[in-house]
Amino acid sequence: MSGKRKATAGKKAAKTHLPYDGPPDYRVVGRHGMFPDIGHDEIARFNFLAHMNRHLSTRVMPAVAEAFEKRVRPAFEKAEKRVFKDRHEVRKALLKDPMFQWWSALRRATMEQRQQAGRWVALRQAEALNARADKLTRGDKRLKLDPKLDLPRYVAAVDHHCMPGSYHTELAPGDVTAAANYDIGLFATTGGMLGRYNDGGGVAVAKWVKENLPAFRPKRILDLGCGLGHNVLPIAEAFPKSEVVAVDVAAPMLRYGLARAKTMGVENVTFVQGDAASLAQFPDESFDWIQSTMFLHETSFGSMPKIFAETKRLLRPGGVVLHVEQPQYAKTMPLFEQAMRDWDAFYNNEPFWTKMHEIDLDAFMARAGFGAGDLIHGGVAAVVDARVFPEAAKDDKQEDYGRKPAWHVIGARKPAKSVMRAAE
Amino acid sequence: MTTIDPLDLAGAKSRGKRPYFLHDRDVERLMTITMALAQEISVLRERLDTVERLLEKNDVLARADIESYAPSKKEAEERGRMIQEFLARILRVIQQERESISMNDQSSEDVAEELARS
Ligand SMILES: C[S@@+](CC[C@H](N)C(=O)[O-])C[C@H]1O[C@@H](n2cnc3c(N)ncnc32)[C@H](O)[C@@H]1O
């Protein structure tokens, strides 16, 4: 055999001279104890989807920008004798262009394929997954479910990012499959840019706090809309002595979240089913740090003031609230970019995205009672193991707009008591 | 026993009206079917690649032998027939369109009327 191999060693498979530039193999995804069993071809499906998304963002998205500059904008200006007045006009003009149409059709199909691929893996082993979660969480006081909780309209109205059944639907008692599907497929949508445990956002927030608030020693931390805990675990790990409470409306996320955390050795998080707009179960001034990641854009204008008011009530004097989101549509952001960032709002079931990103968040904070001088603004980019994962912050080849793992931080300090008295 | 059937449920529709982007919805439906097939082709290729690498690792074959493989005349003909058969299968509709040009077919509706006449 080896002799034969030598004889033909000169002939190699066709290669390109360019260095590899693409997502890593799916097998770099971290396997915690709740991770579903996943086969060779199921992994290959996710590899395909990660590459498909990368292809769309590096090779098709730029074509949309070119089509916009070369034909969509000139045609509009010629016909209307004026420039675009807002992002909605831009999007409606783009909708008539074949490049935008094909990019959109492919992107939508890819999202649906991703859901099917993930749900296949999770649902074929639903019974085993649910039993595993049950075994890990049964009798554990760190899982507090409230089956009577009303689901907010904005959660029930559409299934966010085309995820059938969204975060909350239970196909069986004790179901965790919605969370399992969400967990295993994130890699496909982000091409690994959120890191091994899809926690690059949370790692970045913890790092940001340590750098910008070095003296901050929060005893109790509250995470709003925690999902299955991707981004709250790194915060809990960065502050191991803190007591962390993670709230979500969706029971499957919370069950999976606690089970996953335990198998990852993170023991200081309690998962509570509750509505961030009304958290009467927690007393006034009972948290030092309240935070959310990628949460506000999936709520509503009806609930946001209530959520902000709750954070004001629940914060201890001297405490800090931080919300991490994609950047707002500032006047300085080109209308084309705004229209592209709106894609997920209209075509990937994220309806509130477009509304949330156009408002003045500072004004919302002010209305909740946070002083202008106490507001906090910052920016973070996903922190990942750069030896294995593409670093989005440094990746200038692709601009995936709303999906780029680089976020803005908006927050506030609640003045310490002495300061408040002095001001009165 | 669970009643969760992944065949039905994996591909379930999400709540919210589905947008279509192409002029013809049927073209877009066909595109999504094609992309799903593209995914499965990619999966097959990856699997084949795994098989080749494992065979090589276990000293069963050398992948370079695959690259330098040259079929004999007889083998080449067998493989040529495989490709011909493949094309004939997937392009059946074109073949039948061609045949219809010279067939002067009647519709079954018309034939039914004709057969009903005494
Ligand atoms: C996009 S996910 C973000 C998950 C997580 N923070 C992360 O960074 O991965 C939004 C989550 O918010 C939850 N959610 C939506 N409205 C809520 C509310 N009013 N109160 C609590 N959770 C809510 C959803 O169930 C979902 O799990």
8 A C-beta contact, residue A409 and residue A323: yes
Q: Check whether residue B56 and residue B95 sit in a common domain.
A: no
In a domain, A343, yes or no: yes
Task: Assign A389 to helix, strand or coil.
Answer: coil
Q: How far is A26 from chain B (nearest CA, A)?
A: 12
Q: Mark which residues 19-78 of A lie under 8 Å from B by CB.
A: 40-41, 44-45, 47-49, 51-52
In total, how many domains does chain B have? 2
> What residues have CB less than 8 Å from A411, skipping those under 6 apart?
A291, A320, A321, A322, A323, A375, A376, A377, A378
CB distance A45–B39 less than 8 Å? Answer: yes
8 A C-beta contact, residue A254 and residue A346: no
Mean pLDDT lowest for which of A45-59, A407-421, B42-56, B64-78? A407-421
A347 → chain B, closest CA residue: B19
In a domain, B91, yes or no: yes
CA distance A270 to A285: 18
Q: What is the pLDDT of residues A142-184, one digit of tens each?
A: 999 999 999 999 999 999 999 999 999 999 999 999 999 999 9
CB distance A116–B11 less than 8 Å? Answer: yes
In a domain, B90, yes or no: yes
CA distance A110 to A355: 25
In a domain, B112, yes or no: no
User: Within an 8 Å CB–CB cutoff, is residue B57 touching chain A?
Assistant: no
> Residue A7: what pLDDT?
44
CA distance A242 to A216: 11
Q: How far is B3 from chain A (nearest CA, A)?
A: 9
> Residue A283: what pLDDT?
98
Q: What is the pLDDT of residues A238-276, one digit of tens each?
A: 999 999 999 999 999 999 999 999 999 999 999 999 999
Give the mean pLDDT of A45-56.
Answer: 93
Give the mean pLDDT of A74-94.
Answer: 98
Q: Check whether residue B52 and residue B83 sit in a common domain.
A: no
Q: Check whether residue B60 and residue B82 sit in a common domain.
A: no
Q: What is the pLDDT of residues B56-95, one digit of tens each?
A: 999 999 999 998 999 999 998 999 889 888 888 888 888 8
In a domain, A9, yes or no: no
Give the mean pLDDT of A79-101.
Answer: 97
Q: Check whether residue B53 and residue B75 sit in a common domain.
A: no
Q: Which structural domain, as residue segments, surrounds residue B58?
A: 21-69
Q: Which structural domain, as residue segments, surrounds residue A149?
A: 25-424
In a domain, A15, yes or no: no
A367 — pLDDT class (breaks 50, 70, 90): very high
In a domain, A61, yes or no: yes
Comparing A402 with B50, the larger pLDDT belongs to B50
Q: What is the pLDDT of residues A287-326, one digit of tens each?
A: 999 999 999 999 999 999 999 999 999 999 999 999 999 9
CA distance A269 to A246: 7
Q: Is the pLDDT of residue B45 over 90?
A: yes
In total, how many domains does chain A have? 1
B118 — pLDDT class (breaks 50, 70, 90): confident
Q: Check whether residue B65 and residue B25 sit in a common domain.
A: yes
Report the predicted TM-score, pTM, of the whole model to 2 decimal places.
Answer: 0.90
In a domain, B6, yes or no: no
In a domain, B56, yes or no: yes
In a domain, B2, yes or no: no
8 A C-beta contact, residue A243 and residue A422: no
In a domain, B99, yes or no: yes
Q: Check whether residue B64 and residue B86 sit in a common domain.
A: no
CA distance A312 to A302: 17
Residue A295: which CATH number?
3.40.50.150
What is the average pLDDT score of chain A? 91
The ipTM value here is 0.81
Comparing A169 with A6, the larger pLDDT belongs to A169
> What residues have CB less than 8 Å from A335, skipping those under 6 apart?
A84, A86, A87, A89, A90
> Residue A3: what pLDDT?
44
In a domain, B12, yes or no: no
In a domain, A167, yes or no: yes
